[in-house]
Structure 1
Amino acid sequence: MYIPAHFAAGPDAVLHLLARPAAANLVTMTEHGLQATLLPFVYVPSVGEHGALHAHVARNNPQFSSLPNGEALAILQGPDAYISPSWYPSKAEHGRVVPTWNYSTAHVYGRLVIHDDAGWLARHVRSLTDLHEEGRGKPWSVDDAPERFIAGQLRAIVGVELLITRIEAKEKLSQNRSAADAAGVVTGLRAAGQEASAAAVERVRG
């Protein structure tokens, strides 16, 4: 990934991308070429040297019928948004501004392990559900569904564990703009209903 120094994501930003409820595109090289699947995941920092991403896929998904050839790559995406030059006060000063796109992203590389154990899958599904149901007024639990039904659902999936070996992460959030321009971006994003992107700009500006 091309990462200019002023857009490099620090450890806290990387942890935010990994730990928040989200999904990632998992890309692997297969006998049919590159394939990708979007998967909700749980970050497990206690596994291995750099942690792991736990997910699951349909048992019939051909991407995971065999272990990948070489590294696997999970692409995580944070808030992203179009940035209009009209939001910059500097536009009125000199006009030397152009549109751009703000975003946060991490490329997570590692070794892929497939889990076909019912116990591993049951623990993973509970962790994934709890992560996404946390904070809801009436959170759904795996125990809310009939046991035999859940057992049948688990038989239809396999577990996917990406043992992380390295992470490349970037936050392009108006760090290269003046404080006035960045404030204009925040105002413009909020007016456009892009609260998450506005908050991200405020976070990196301190």
Structure 2
Amino acid sequence: MRQNPSFVMTDVGEIRRLIECNPWVTLVSHTESGLVASHYAVLLDDAREDLTIVGHVGKPDDMIHGLGRGELLVVVQGPHGYISPGWYGDGPAVPTWNFVSAHLSGVPELLDTAENLRVLERLVDRFEQPMPHPRGMWAPPNDADFVERLERGTTGFRLTPTRVVGKRKLSQNRPGETVDHIVEMLRAEGPHANPALADEMARARAARSGS
């Protein structure tokens, strides 16, 4: 990511929030055959308070990535979107793209069957709980044989990152009134309406101003 120190995000709580709100990530490995990328949902490890994540890949992605044998890069992408130069006022300006993102790197630990089943169950529950009638992984018509076959088709992992790069580029290098105007434009109807990015910018602006 762009190495601009004014956009660096180092707060563990904020990066945990980013992961929790944006669990669909990109996994990248450098293998003998070249770069490999896959996309999966991950969760924060509920036994830890750091940036350790747990997840799984479907076989044969574990072999394709060489999972557990080398470094894995996990790219977490939060709200992002186009910012028009017209939103900066009458002065000279160029278009840009605002975003929140984090890169977590490390060698993952492979999970045993029991741990993998627990992570798979947590993952299902994470997205089923808001449903009107949540259907858990073990709920009928699924039975134990079905769930165990499902687990055997996956490889679970735990990643405690040894390197973390977080960036939050939300026009924080602009005057407060300019940020407020951009937030307003992102919330208005138009080709670049982006309420999620507007909310993220407003939240960051409030934190900076102490309100």
TM-score w.r.t. length of structure 1: 0.87
Q: Give 1:197's aligned amino acid.
A: L
* Residue of structure 2 equivalent to 1:144: 139
User: 1:121 matched to which residue of 2?
Assistant: 116
Task: Give the aligned residue type for 1:85.
Answer: P
- The answer on whether the counterparts of 1:110 and 1:165 sit within 8 Å (CA) in structure 2 is yes
Tell me the CA shift for residue 180 of structure 1.
2.1
Aligned-pair CA distance for 1:65: 4.6
* Whole-angstrom CA distance in 2 between matches of 1:183 and 1:83: 13
Corresponding residue to 1:188 among 185, 188, 199: 185
Q: 8 Å contact 1:56–1:158 — kept in the other structure?
A: yes
- Aligned Cα root-mean-square deviation (Å): 2.0
Would you tell me which structure has more strand in proportion to its own residues? 1
CA contact (8 A) 2:36 2:65 kept: no
Deviation string 1:133-179 (CA, Å, 9 cap, x unpaired) is 33333222112241122222111111122122221100000101122
Displaced runs of 4+ in structure 1, greater than 6 A? none
Q: Distance in 1 between matches of 2:16 and 2:52?
A: 12
TM-score, normalised on structure 2?
A: 0.85
- Which residue pairs with 1:175 in the alignment? 172
Quick one: distance in 2 between partners of 1:18 and 1:66?
Answer: 21
| Percent sequence identity over aligned pairs | 30
Unaligned runs of 5+ in 1: none
Deviation per residue, 1:83-122 (Å, 9 max, x gap): 112223x22xx3x11110000000111121223x321121
Greater Cα shift, 168-177 or 146-155: 146-155
Label 1:135 to 1:66 Cα distance change in 2 as closer, same or farther (>3 A): closer
Deviation at 1:2, TM superposition (A): 3.4
The letter for the 2-side match of 1:199 is: D
Runs of at least 5 residues in structure 2 that lack an aligned partner in the other structure: 207-211
Classify the secondary structure of the residue corresponding to 2:160: strand
8 A Cα contact 1:21 1:132, kept in partner: no
The structure, 1 or 2, with the larger RCO (C-alpha pairs under 8 Å, 6+ apart) is: 1
Shift of 1:18: 2.3
Could you say if the C-alpha distance between residues 101 and 150 of structure 1 is closer, same or farther in structure 2, counting changes exceeding 3 Å? same
| Offset at residue 10 of structure 1 (A) | 4.1
